[in-house]
Chain A
Amino acid sequence: QVQLRESGPGLVKPSETLSLTCTVSGSSVSSGSYYWTWIRQPPGKRLEWLGYVYYSGSTNYNPSLKSRVTMSVDTAKNQFSLKLRSLSAADTAVYYCARVAWELPPRFDYWGQGMLVTVSS
């Protein structure tokens, strides 16, 4: 059974960098069949896709966040990570990690349960 779990700080100060990790079980981040992605949902707003990372380390980010976001994969730990810089209150959201089945058509086929990150001093 594929499971994903987000971990990281629940409270971060403005202007700092958020670092989240997604631990995957039941699937390998080294598989070429999948991308690994981060999605967030600010309170009262829509889900927003942040970007993908592939096992090779290649990435693709949402243009709205491209200058502030970095994603990476750790195949040894079967994890992937998100770093989001220069935080503001607008980055307060529930952050989800998910697997992308890339064989056409693509879809987010497994998700973590999400974790709330609050940006506040």
Chain B
Amino acid sequence: DIQLTQSPSFLSASVGDRVTITCRASQGIDSYLAWYHHKPGKAPKLLIYAASTLQSGVPSRFSGSEFGPEFTLTISSLQPEDFAIYYCQQFSGYPPTFGQGTKVEIK
């Protein structure tokens, strides 16, 4: 199975901060990577797919990019509703797999 490693696993930030989360794949996954936002008890929400395509309705402060085997999710200006857990997920290899998650908390 393709392993996805996110860094950091935990991040403390303030409203208005620029935040970057990284996801590294154990092998090439082309651009078949998605990012999800999850608040426990609620439905996870798709933010980005194909590494950099913003899902319809998602605020433009979210963006995704890739550089070689590394993928990044950037939140340009953190908002109160953004404090959550973020997961990356790949669809290139079988089975689809997820990163371990990055928890973004209020500083």
Q: Which A residues have a C-beta under 8 Å from some C-beta of B?
A: 4, 46-49, 62-64, 96, 98, 105-114
B62 part of interface (Cβ distance < 8 Å): no
**How distant is the Cα of A105 from the Cα of B97 in the complex, in angstroms?**
15
B44 part of interface (Cβ distance < 8 Å): yes
For the A-B complex, the count of residue pairs with Cβ-Cβ distances under 8 Å equals 52
B50 touches A46 (CB 8 A): no
Could you give, for residues 92-104 of chain B, a 1 whenever the CB lies within 8 Å of some chain A CB and a 0 otherwise? Answer: 0001111111000
B97 touches A49 (CB 8 A): yes
B43 touches A107 (CB 8 A): no
Which B residues touch A114, using CB under 8 A?
A: 41, 43
Which chain B residue lies CB-closest to A37? B96
B32 part of interface (Cβ distance < 8 Å): yes
B34 CB contact (under 8 Å) in A107, A110, A113 = A107
Which of B91, B96, B98, B100 has the most chain A CB within a 10 Å cutoff?
A: B96
Q: Which B residues have a C-beta under 8 Å from some C-beta of A?
A: 31-32, 34, 36, 41-46, 49-50, 55, 87, 89, 91, 95-101
B46 touches A107 (CB 8 A): yes
B98 CB contact (under 8 Å) in A47, A64, A105 = A47
Which A residues touch B55, using CB under 8 A?
A: 107, 109
Nearest first, the 3 closest Cβ-Cβ pairs linking A and B are: A107-B49, A47-B98, A111-B43
